[in-house]
């Protein structure tokens, strides 16, 4: 990584993972990464090994940028009925402390445009709104964190 930076092949280096937040946190402690890409969504709080409380404090201390992925859990947060739409999924994740942005796949141009509209209108959610969303995902967390089994 250092050699690639010195040669101006890369400007920033990052660490990512779907499975174990402890591995990401340890990596952030061991190397001065610029950014981390981690799976964060409203169901993550209920997982036995959640990313947010494990990775976000380390990222803050190390001044590492945080990009969230798996925000709508491939739409399963909506199809399960846990959340009403992207405004809740994106609003929740972007309201987590130290999350700077998110990446969300779009299947159509209309879906992309809708996501951009939501992102532009984003305002951090209040604690009560965050708690309400967390309550809605409490019974569906397993189906909405399925990607955590990817290795």
CA-closest candidate to residue 88, choices 48, 58, 131:
131
- What superfamily would CATH give domain 2-139? NADP-dependent oxidoreductase domain (3.20.20.100)
Q: Which pLDDT score is estimated for 150?
A: 73
Distance CA 89, CA 142 (A): 16
> What pLDDT does residue 99 have?
97
The answer to whether 37 touches 69, Cβ cutoff 8 Å, is yes
CB–CB of 106/71 below 8 Å?
A: no
pLDDT score of 123: 96
Sorted by where each begins, the domain ranges of the chain are: 2-139
Backbone phi and psi for residue 17, each to the nearest 5 degrees, phi listed first = 180, 155
Query: For residues 94 and 124, is the Cβ–Cβ distance under 8 A?
Result: yes
Per-residue pLDDT of the chain (151 residues; tens, 9 = 90+): 899 999 999 999 999 998 899 999 999 999 999 999 999 999 999 999 999 999 999 999 999 999 999 999 999 999 989 999 999 999 999 999 999 999 999 999 999 999 999 999 999 999 999 999 999 999 988 887 888 877 6
């Amino acid at each position: 990584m250092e050699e690639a930076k010195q040669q101006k092949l890369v400007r920033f280096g990052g660490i990512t993972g779907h499975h174990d937040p402890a591995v990401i946190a340890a990596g952030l402690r061991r190397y001065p990464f610029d950014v981390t890409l981690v799976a964060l969504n409203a169901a993550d709080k209920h997982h036995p090994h959640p990313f947010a409380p494990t990775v976000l404090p380390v990222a803050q201390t190390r001044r590492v940028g945080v990009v969230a992925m798996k925000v709508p859990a491939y739409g399963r947060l909506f199809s399960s009925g846990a959340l009403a739409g992207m405004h809740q999924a994106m609003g929740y994740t972007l309201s987590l402390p130290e999350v700077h942005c998110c990446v969300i796949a779009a299947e159509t141009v209309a879906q992309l445009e809708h996501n951009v509209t939501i992102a532009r209108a984003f305002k951090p959610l209040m604690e009560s709104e965050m708690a309400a969303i967390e309550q809605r995902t409490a019974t569906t967390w397993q189906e909405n964190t399925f990607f955590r089994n990817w290795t």
